[in-house]
Chain A
Amino acid sequence: MNGPGLWDRGAQPERTALAWSRTTLSLVVAGLLCVRLAPSALGAATAAAVVCGSAALQLRRTRASLRRRGARLPHGRRIADAESVLLTTGSTMLLAVTGILFAV
């Protein structure tokens, strides 16, 4: 890998974790707008539950990922996390479809 001291191993994972937090915040904002658009109380409750659930899941995974990367980076082990990426893509597309369904 690199010589010791070439780059700090803590900052990059932390910056990535912050990017995850910002994305979660965007999910909450877009989700709340979707909740506001819902045509019925039941629809609003379902949308709110889905948004809160995905946000909680993302926050949890972000924390776990930051901790795991801090432990793995010094040993040069793999840090890619395809599952979080897949989950985030899925929840974003789900929210977009919900928005389309509510807007029709």
Chain B
Amino acid sequence: MTATRTPDSPGGRWTDRLLAEGSDPDPRFTLANERTFLAWIRTALALVAGGVGVALAGDLVDAPLRHLLAIGFSATGALVAALAFRRWLRTERALRRDETLPPPALAPLMSYGLAIAAIALVAALLIAR
């Protein structure tokens, strides 16, 4: 696990460029980091699907609020995807340099964000009644 650059680099140019420093960590950590990234991507996709679902629920929520909620959900999905990539990269780099892992910025954002979104959605449903 000490070889940093093997001649037959697997990931290609981008992997070489993004993960140039440090040495290869325990492969279990790399795989776990990738699975965490995928879980975040699924969360982002669920947010996009939620936004599209709200946009399609024409008879439940009235027009301006519906568009606003749909755009908010989808935009949060894009943001979560971008932050998930950033977090994957920072964690992978920290693992390679044997440093402390980056703090979890995404988790509080998601819990507070979802709470606000849920309240907004309930309010929207009540107003539409």
* Chain A residues packing against B (C-beta within 8 Å): 1-2, 7, 12-13, 15-16, 19-20, 22-23, 26-27, 29-30, 33-34, 36-37, 68, 72-73, 76-83, 85-86, 88-89, 92-93, 95-97, 99-100, 102-104
Contacts and interface: CB of A to CB of B under 8 A. Distances in A.
Contact of A100 (B3, B6, B49, B75): B75
Q: Which of A7, A78, A92 is packed against the most chain B CB atoms within 10 Å?
A: A78
A20 B38 CA distance: 7
A19 B12 CA distance: 22
Chain A facing B: main interface SS: helix
B67 to A, nearest CB: 6
Contacts, number: 159
B6 A77 contact: yes
Interface in B21-69: 24, 26-28, 30-32, 34-35, 37-39, 41-42, 44-49, 51-53, 55-56, 67
A88 B84 CA distance: 10
A85 B78 contact: no
Contact of B45 (A15, A26, A73, A85): A26
Contacts of B6: 77-78
A99 B1 CA distance: 43
Nearest to A83: B14
B121 interface: no
Contacts of B28: 7, 12
Contact of B77 (A20, A88, A96): A96
Given A16-B31, A37-B52, A102-B55, A82 B14 contact: yes
B41 A33 contact: no
Nearest to A2: B26
A34 B36 CA distance: 25
